[in-house]
């Protein structure tokens, strides 16, 4: 595989992008442009090829650790790649996703099914039900002291969100909400009422399905939530 220095200057990824536009680049050239350069003994195209292979096979579960296993990728480049992918996802999601029910939410959080730790995510929505942003707020065992309303609603307020949906996973596969899950939900509903952001649902996702607080009528039963 050619090294950049052996490619005519006008046909190198960055120069080609500048002259012809980003659409003219192949996937390999795009990744090479993101990386900027290779390492001693491995040209940027070799490294870019390996990154693409890993990305294509692990797109929804790509991590820094997986990328750092590639010869030529250190922490800086791994973060660079993941940041570019995440930004693309966010911009695409923001322009195209309307949330009408739990089924639409599940499509956005499929990656949680195989996580070994608990992840707590928020989805902020505008008044028409369009997704503004999907965020991971917390990773680890859920409890009230860690999932704090301030952390959950700070970004939602910045988004000027009209509504919010909470999602977390149960790695065990048991979809029954724990007492802690219910207490957290009650606390967040009350906080949402104070700041004027409607809590539409809290969804627990597992390997073989999901549990919706809204569908089970729990959101309307705050007095009995314990």
Q: Which residue has the tokens 């050619």?
A: 2
Beta-bridge partners for 199: 164
**pLDDT recorded at residue 8:** 43
Q: Provide the token pair at 96.
A: 């195209």
What percentage of the chain has pLDDT greater than the value 90? Answer: 40
What is residue 70's DSSP assignment? Answer: S
Label residue 70 by pLDDT band (50, 70, 90): very high
Label residue 223 by pLDDT band (50, 70, 90): very low
Residue 87 pLDDT > 90: no
**pLDDT recorded at residue 226:** 41
Class of domain 98-224: alpha beta
Beta-bridge partners for 120: 138, 168
161-200 per-position pLDDT tens digit: 999 999 999 998 899 998 888 989 999 999 999 999 999 9
**Buried b vs exposed e over 11-25: b needs ≥16 C-beta within 10 Å?**
ebbeebbeeeeeeeb
SS3 97: coil
Residue 160 has phi, psi (to 5 degrees) of: 60, 40
Pairing mode, strands 163-169 and 198-206: parallel
95 with 130: CB under 8 angstroms?
Answer: no
Of 74-83, 88-97, 148-157, 214-223, give the range with the top mean pLDDT. Answer: 74-83
Residue 182 vs residues 36, 80, 204: alpha-carbon distances, Å: 48, 38, 11
CA 86/CA 215 separation, integer angstroms: 30
**pLDDT recorded at residue 5:** 52
CA 127/CA 136 separation, integer angstroms: 22
CA 121/CA 88 separation, integer angstroms: 18
**pLDDT recorded at residue 37:** 83
**pLDDT recorded at residue 211:** 94
**pLDDT recorded at residue 43:** 85
CA 113/CA 123 separation, integer angstroms: 17
Pairing mode, strands 119-125 and 131-139: antiparallel
Cβ-in-10-Å burial (0-12, 13-18, 19+) of 67 comes to buried
Higher-confidence residue: 150 or 123? Answer: 123
**pLDDT recorded at residue 224:** 40
CA 159/CA 155 separation, integer angstroms: 6
**pLDDT recorded at residue 185:** 92
Cβ-in-10-Å burial (0-12, 13-18, 19+) of 105 comes to buried
Residue 26 has phi, psi (to 5 degrees) of: -75, 170
């Amino acid at each position: 595989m050619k090294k950049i220095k052996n490619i005519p200057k006008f046909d190198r990824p960055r120069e080609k992008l500048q002259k012809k536009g980003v659409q003219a680049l192949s996937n390999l050239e795009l990744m090479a442009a993101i990386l900027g350069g290779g390492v001693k003994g491995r040209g940027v195209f070799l490294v870019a090829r390996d990154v693409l292979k890993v990305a294509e096979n692990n797109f929804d579960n790509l991590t820094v650790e997986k990328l750092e296993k590639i010869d030529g990728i250190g922490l800086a480049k791994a973060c660079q790649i993941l940041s570019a992918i995440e930004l693309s996802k966010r911009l695409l999601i923001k322009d195209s996703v309307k949330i009408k029910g739990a089924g639409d939410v599940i499509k956005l959080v499929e990656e949680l099914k195989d996580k070994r730790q608990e992840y707590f995510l928020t989805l902020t929505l505008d008044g028409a039900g369009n997704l503004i942003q999907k965020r991971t707020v917390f990773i680890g065992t859920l409890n009230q002291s860690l999932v704090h309303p301030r952390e959950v609603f700070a970004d939602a307020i910045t988004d000027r969100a009209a509504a919010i949906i909470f999602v977390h996973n149960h790695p065990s596969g048991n979809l029954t909400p724990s007492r802690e899950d219910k207490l957290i939900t009650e606390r967040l509903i009350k906080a949402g009422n104070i700041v004027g952001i409607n809590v539409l649902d809290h969804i627990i996702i597992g390997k073989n399905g999901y549990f919706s607080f809204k569908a089970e009528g729990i959101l309307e039963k705050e007095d009995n939530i314990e």
